[in-house]
């Protein structure tokens, strides 16, 4: 669990760092960002992990997400990993923005040539939390998860599969039913193969249909999002949560699009919402 410090910068009464390490899950060097607010020397802080969307790295939310002031206010560590393995030896689909590098979809791939390195589920669920706990002042019993678009899909599915690990789950513009939309069909089909039954553990609506539960959920979705109808299909998550009795606050935000202008507008709301559950 050796960690390399790439940079550390003071911000909002805390330290914004960027770090890398050799991942056993992906077999590659992985880079991630961590914001740690100032705290008492012996304090153990809650942590929110943010999963980014297609084409993004750790830097997108770090530079445009506007989370630091809220995290400093509530005493929360914010972790932002990359979206896929990287490196010259990692297979890619260079002409396709929605598959390969930058588009790991938070799955453990089972099909060649992707299965060797594309193991983002294991990385996010197991390796990264252990690494963070070993190097930062976190309370491992107080974890939450959120994300945007593909990362919203990751946050929902990881949260639904691990309800005893994450005290709260939220998302911005998530892909809620990837088994039935073009982005998801492409990614799940090529990473996991043709058996759609194997896709269900990576599909939030399917997981809920199959019995997975969360006590509550917060989702923000812009009504002017050009991906809303074809790729995101928020209405399906609303219907699934209603049928399952999940207390889901799914807010349709009038006039907002899919960009970080939207995410940054509601980021402080999400941090405060997670803080209420992490600090309870």
Say if residues 166 and 158 touch (Cβ distance below 8 Å). Answer: yes
Q: From CA 193, how far away is CA 188, in angstroms rounded? A: 7
Q: From CA 250, how far away is CA 252, in angstroms rounded? A: 7
CA torsion 102-21-130-187 (nearest 10°) is 20
| Tokens matching residue 6 | 């790439």
Annotated active-site residue 7? The verdict is no
Of 52, 148, 225, 270, which is the active-site residue? 225
Of 117, 148, 153, 258, which is the active-site residue? 258
Q: From CA 121, how far away is CA 199, in angstroms rounded? A: 13
Annotated active-site residue 258? The verdict is yes
Annotated active-site residue 149? The verdict is yes
Of 84, 149, 170, 173, which is the active-site residue? 149
Q: What is the largest CA-CA distance in the chain?
A: 52
By annotation, the residues acting in catalysis are 149, 225, 258
């Amino acid at each position: 669990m050796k960690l390399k410090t790439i940079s550390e910068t003071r911000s909002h009464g805390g330290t914004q760092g960027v770090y890398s390490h050799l991942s056993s899950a992906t077999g590659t060097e992985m880079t991630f960002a961590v914001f740690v607010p100032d705290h008492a020397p012996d304090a153990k802080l809650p942590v929110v992990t943010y999963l980014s969307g297609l084409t993004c790295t750790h830097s997108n939310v770090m530079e445009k997400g506007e989370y630091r002031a809220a995290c400093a206010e509530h005493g929360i560590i914010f972790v932002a990993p990359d979206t896929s393995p990287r490196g010259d030896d990692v297979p890619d689909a260079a002409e396709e923005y929605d598959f390969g590098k930058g588009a790991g979809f938070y799955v453990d791939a089972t099909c060649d040539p992707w299965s060797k390195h594309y193991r983002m589920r294991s990385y996010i669920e197991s390796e990264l939390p252990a690494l963070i706990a070993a190097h930062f002042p976190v309370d491992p019993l107080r974890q939450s998860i959120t994300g945007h678009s593909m990362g919203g899909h990751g946050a929902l599915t990881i949260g639904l599969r691990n309800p005893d690990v994450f005290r709260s789950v939220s998302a911005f513009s998530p892909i809620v039913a990837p088994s039935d939309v073009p982005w998801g069909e492409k990614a799940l089909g090529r990473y996991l193969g043709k058996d759609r039954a194997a896709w269900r553990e990576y599909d939030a609506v399917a997981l809920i249909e199959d019995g997975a539960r969360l006590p509550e959920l917060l989702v923000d979705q812009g009504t002017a999002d050009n991906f809303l109808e074809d790729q995101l299909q928020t209405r399906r998550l609303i219907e699934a949560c209603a049928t399952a009795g999940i207390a889901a606050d799914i807010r349709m935000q009038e006039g907002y699009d899919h960009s970080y202008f939207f995410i940054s507008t509601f980021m402080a709301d999400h941090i405060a919402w997670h803080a209420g559950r992490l600090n309870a």
